[in-house]
Each structure stands twice: as C-alpha cells, then as structure tokens.
Amino acid sequence: IFVSFLTSRFFLHAEMGWGTAILVLILGIAGVILAKTNDRPILSLAGYMLVAVPYGALLGPLVNDVAGVEAAKYFGYPITADITIAFFVTTIYVLIFGLIGAMIPDSLESWQGPIIGLLIVGIVGYFVIPIAGFFGVSVSQALGVWDWLIILLFAAIIMYDFNRAVRIPYTLDNAIDVALEVYLDWFNVFIRLLARRKSD
C-alpha cells in the first residue's frame, strides 16, 4: 500500500483514460501471474511491485480529483476527509472479513470457481455498462450500483484469501503471495469507495 501511495504522488496530475486503465489491468495480471507461478521470493516480490506501482499510478489522478486541485497545491499530497474516510473504512472492512475468513474452520476452496466467475462478470460489466448508455441507461447510476456489488463480492474474496492464508505452508514466498492478495483486496475496495465519495 505504501508503494502505491508513494507512486501516486508522481501521477497526481496525469491524465488517465480507458487505455491507461487497460494497461494497468494487464500489468496487474502479469504481476499476479509472475508472483503465483514460482516459488522464488525475489520473483514474487517483483510480481508484487508490477502490481503496486501501476496501481499507484492509477490511484494518483483519482485521489487528486476527489481532493481537488487546491488541496493538492497546498498540501503536496491531497489527503482530505473523503480520502481518509475511504482509507479507514476500507481497512476496517478488510480486517473484519479477513478475521471472519481466518476463523472459519473449514476450507473455502470450493468458493474459488464462483469467485473467479463473478470477478470476470464484474470486469465485463465495466465495459458493458457504458455501452448500455447508448440505449438510455443512466451510466453513472448503473456504475454506482455495480461498484457496490463489486465491494460486496470482495467481502467473499477477502474471506477466501484469509481462510487460504492460514492453511498454506508458512514460507517467505507464500507470505509475499498472501500480501499481494490482501493488497489487491484492499486496493479494489478502496478505489471503489473513493469513486463513490467522488460521485456523491
């Protein structure tokens, strides 16, 4: 999280369009694959950074947009009430559902298939909803509802990730992989809460 916030400082005033978002998504997927497909901690850490750095670049303009130009001008990094609230709500959300997942005595491996399927539906939805705007659908309202549904989905993902974390062997490589999973959970909830506070 610290790496992403540090990176975001350098991209506060950058212009981020759909092309950039897709590039960040591709880099993130590549980073996850690199981290997950080997048992060498240094490569897992490189995969983690391949996710954290571009995600931080994506976060910068959103943070700046939520805070406003004046906040960025006077404070260097625009930490405002909206951003602080989103940060703490996200952290508490991850901790609560993470603890629930870790305390469930049974393995939640059976959740993996449905979670992957729903994530794919979630990603596709962000491309389909803007197209639906051409047919009279209110895009901003539909995206708002979609964001809340994705946030709810991440409650299940967080539980799954923490439940899995307490069952895998305690190695340095696995620790990095788990840290990456928790980071992705936290980031996805945070950026959606921040987007909702911006639109409210």
How far apart CA 87 and CA 187 sit, in angstroms, is: 10
pLDDT at 10: 76
pLDDT at position 199? 58
Which residues, including other chains, have CB under 8 Å from residue 55's CB and lie 6 or more apart? 4, 7, 24, 28, 187
- Residue range 114-145, pLDDT digits in tens: 999 999 999 899 888 888 888 787 888 888 88
* Per-residue pLDDT, 38: 87
pLDDT attached to residue 63: 74
Are 122 and 174 within 8 A, CB to CB?
Answer: no
What are the structure tokens assigned to 56, written together? 């931080």
Contact 190, 87 (CB under 8 A): yes
Per-residue pLDDT reduced to its tens digit, 18-38: 777 788 888 888 999 999 998
State how far the Cα of 96 lies from the Cα of 124, in Å rounded to an integer.
28
The parts of the chain modelled with pLDDT lower than 50 are 69-75
The per-residue pLDDT for 68 is: 55
pLDDT of residue 72: 46
